[in-house]
Amino acid sequence: MNMNNKGESFSGHSVAMITPFKDGAVDYESLEKQVLYQIEAGTTAVVPAGTTGESPTLSYEEHKNVIRSVVKTANGKIKVIAGTGSNSTDEAVYLTKFAEKVGADAALLVAPYYNKPTQEGFYQHYKTVAQKVGIQICIYNIPSRCGKNIEPETIIRLAEIPNITLVKESTGSMDQTSYIIESTGLTVLSGDDSLTLPILSLGGRGVISVVGNIVPKEIIKLCNAFDNGDIETAREIHYKIFKLCRNMLTLSTNPIPIKAAMKLLGRDTGELRLPLTSLTQDEEIKLHNILKLLLNDDE
C-alpha cells in the first residue's frame, strides 16, 4: 500500500459548511461565527460553498464572497478547502483561480454533474483545472448526486498530477476506496459521516463531515482515537455518529436536516433556497427528539 499521502496536512476532521441565509441573503456575520466555532473546536479545515453550502443556488458573486469571507475569518488559523466545482470546466477554472487568489489552501471539485462525461472527460476536466492553479485539488466523487462514477483507474491517472492530492470519497464502495488507497499517494477523506471509521481502517485519513457542523469535537475524537490505536473508543464514537446520521441525516435531502438542527440549536435561521424546502412538522418533532437524546448523551 502506498502510504506517501500527498495531502497529509488535510488529515482529520474537515467540515462541509452550510451557507447561512437571513431574509433571502447570505448572512456573513453568521458565516463568520461558524468558522470561529470550528477553529475553537480544533477542526482541520472548513469547506465553504460545497453541496452542503447550497452552492447550486449561490450566484457567482455570492459564491466568491462566501469563499473570500471564510478565508478572511480563517486568517491562517484553520485550513480552507473552497468548493469550486462545476459541470463547466471553464467555470471550475474561474472559481478555482479565484479561490487561490484570495488565499484558500485547496479546492474541492465535485465531479461534473448532469452532462455525464466519459472517463477521459473526467480526466481532462480535472487535469485542466489543476494545471491552471498551484493550490491542492480534492476530487469529490459522489455518483448518487452526479449521475456517474469517476472510476478508480481514472483517479489513479489523476494522482500523477502533482497538485491533485485529495479525494473526497462518497461512492459508498469500500472496494473502490481500497483500490485508490492501495494504488495512489492520495489522501482519501470520507464523504459520508457513517463511513469515516471504515475508511480510516482501510488507510483513509479523515472526513469532510456534515454532522461536524454540530458535533465537531466528537469527529475529532474519533479520528484521534483511531490514529492513537484506541479502536474501542473510535468504534464507540462511530456508533454514536452512525445513529445520528441514520436518524437525522436521512430525514430529508442534505443540507435540509443539518440546517434544521442548527436552527434548533440556535446557530442558524434554518433558511433554505428553493428548490430545497424545510422539514415537515412531523420531521421537526423527530429531529428535536434526536437532538435531545444526543445532547443527553454528551452530558
Residue 33, burial from CB neighbour count under 10 angstroms (0-12, 13-18, 19+): middle
Q: How many CB atoms lie within 10 A of CB 2?
A: 14
- State the residue for C-alpha cell 450566484: 59
* C-alpha–C-alpha distance, residues 260 and 22, integer Å: 14
Q: Max alpha carbon distance in the chain (Å)?
A: 52
Contact between 64 and 26 (Cβ < 8 Å): no
The cell for 86 is 462545476
Q: Which residues are catalytic?
A: 140, 168
Q: How many CB atoms lie within 10 A of CB 232?
A: 8
Enumerate residues 6+ apart whose C-beta is below 8 A from 100: 107, 133, 134, 135
Q: Among candidates 98, 143, 138, 96, which has minimal Cα distance to 117?
A: 143
Residue 120, classed as helix, strand or coil, is helix
**Strand pairing class (25-26; 21-22):** antiparallel
Q: State CA 283 to chain mean position distance.
A: 24
